[in-house]
Amino acid sequence: MAKLYFYYASMNAGKSTNLLQADFNYRERGMRTLLFTAALDTRSAAGTITSRIGLSAPATRFDADTDLGAVTLAAHRDAALACVLVDEAQFLTGPQIDQLAAIADDNGVPVLCYGLRTDFRGALFPGSARLLAIADTLVEIKSVCACGRKATMNLRVDADGRAIADGAQTEIGGNERYVALCRRHFRAALAEAR
């Protein structure tokens, strides 16, 4: 039975690397995959999933209006898919998560979603909230805070490295904009910023 998986972590924990490794494993065995990435993520080439360690693969871009179910079913009709892999899954909408669940449930294709659980304020992203609610399997990818504890939070920082406590939920960036911290250090940094 195919499942809907949610692999979540803080920034810079290796989510894209894990996704690309899973994709490689399928393709190495002659199995066909379909990769999705968020259109609003402009850190690398459009329509590409790129990891910080230099791995990359082409992907279909999605935005809030993309019918992932229709795109996936069309690809599956062309040639059977062994797996669907979604990067930046926090940017999915609730209905898109439901479309992906139907792909797993009704078509027997596993769906592996990779993304952040929370934003820079510690609030759930809508896509992550829906995945936490309905995914068959939840897997936390571990990252480490500078203190050595598990990093679970994403602190947004300015150009001088100072914490930012307010702003839009989504602001694309990498190491120059976000720092992965344990909850204790995250809370302290936000308190100082306020």
142-163 pLDDT, tens digit per residue, is: 999 999 999 999 898 888 888 8
State the CATH number of the domain containing residue 21. Answer: 3.40.50.300
Q: What's the confidence (pLDDT) of residue 49?
A: 82
In which band, very low, low, confident or very high, does the pLDDT at 6 lie, cut at 50, 70 and 90? very high
Give pLDDT, residue 43.
Answer: 62
Residue 79: give the domain boundaries: 4-141
Res 113 pLDDT > 80: yes
- Three-state DSSP class for 40? coil
Asked if residue 117 is part of any domain, the answer here is yes
The answer to whether position 183 is within a domain reads no
Mean predicted confidence (pLDDT) in 106-117: 97
Residue 182 lies in a domain: no
Domain count, the chain: 1
Residue 93 lies in a domain: yes
Report the pLDDT value the prediction gives residue 42, as an integer from 0 to 100.
62
Q: What is the pLDDT of residue 131?
A: 98
Assigned domain for 26 exists: yes
d(CA 145, CA 186): 10
Residue 114 lies in a domain: yes
What is the model's pTM? 0.90
How much is the mean pLDDT over the chain?
A: 91
For the question of residue 88 being annotated catalytic, the response is: yes
Report H helices in the chain.
15-28, 68-78, 94-107, 126-134, 183-193
- Decide: helix, strand or coil at residue 84: strand
pLDDT tens across 51-63, in order?
888 888 999 999 9
Annotated active-site residue in 88, 140, 176, 192 = 88
- Give domain status of residue 180, yes or no: no
> What pLDDT sits at residue 173?
57
**Would you say residue 126 lies in a domain?**
yes
